[in-house]
Amino acid sequence: MLVGRKIVVVLPAYNAAKTLERTVAEIPPGIVDEVVLVDDKSRDETLEVARRLGLRSVAHARNLGYGGNQKTCYREALALGADVVIMLHPDYQYSPRLVPAMAGMIVSGEFDVVLGSRILGVGALAGGMPLWKYVSNRSLTAFQNLLCGHKLSEYHTGYRAFSRQVLEALPLDANADGFVFDNQMLAQTIFAGFRIGEISCPTRYFPEASSVNFAGSVRYGLGVVRTSLQFRVARWGLGGGAVFPRALDGTARRAPAG
């Protein structure tokens, strides 16, 4: 608990047996009420390690993809009564020690969503992010800031904290089951008018850490461009489909009647 709020950490896991224990060991004690791991039909011993660590574990009968995994994560966390949900990759790429700080930023009432940014400060390249990934990250972020009319240091971090209100409001089931889910979710957050904060997060790139290959990154980049264009069209009132429904539009909700 933090100021009477229930804090749940969710771990979307796929082949994370080698890094899971290190990740969980660095989650600071005394703040987190529940840690939930969702195993997306791993081919290694991820589920066995999770159970040995005493984690609440959910196993998919088939691989649903990164976005599909997160959908389960958030449903499970909300069912447990979470007030704040922190999504942390179990591959030890992001620092679990920031969980209390990210939760605190939401519990303070100042933010609805908090991102652990690899770009703020000098963490990305110093932590081993490949140069081509860094350049593509900065380019896509600049493009999305322009089309979404927002200003974030990056849209592509996998370390995020959400208030319960956000998770209940966003049409997550309309999003893709692949990696672009993250980007759609963040664009929806902006579309709905929720407040986003960022915190500098060191990152680690090493062989056991999961990473999208070049071909996957290209597909993801194209998905980001498509999401940004959908956002802009929806903000113009020309239709955003199920991902950006008019009822979600924070601008539309604030517009005077008539």
Residue 195's CB is within 10 A of a number of other CB atoms, namely: 15
- pTM of the prediction? 0.92
What is the model's pLDDT at position 257? 39
Rounded distance, CA 87 to CA 90, Å? 9
In 21-174, where do the E strands start and end? 34-39, 56-59, 84-87, 113-117, 160-163
pLDDT in tens, 206-244: 666 666 777 888 899 999 999 999 999 999 999 989 999
pLDDT in tens, 96-140: 999 999 999 999 999 999 999 999 877 677 777 778 888 988 999
What is the model's pLDDT at position 1? 83
- Asked if the model's pLDDT at residue 253 lies above 60, the reply is no
Tokens of 247: 């009822």
What is the model's pLDDT at position 207? 67
Tokens of 56: 């609440």
Query: What's the average model confidence in pLDDT over 60-85?
Result: 98
Query: What's the average model confidence in pLDDT over 35-60?
Result: 97
Q: Which domains are present in the chain?
A: 7-249 (3.90.550.10)
| CA-angle at 164, arms to 32 and 256, nearest 5° | 155
What is the model's pLDDT at position 215? 82
Pairing of strands 160-163, 56-59: unpaired
Tokens of 157: 């971090």
Query: What's the average model confidence in pLDDT over 151-156?
Result: 94
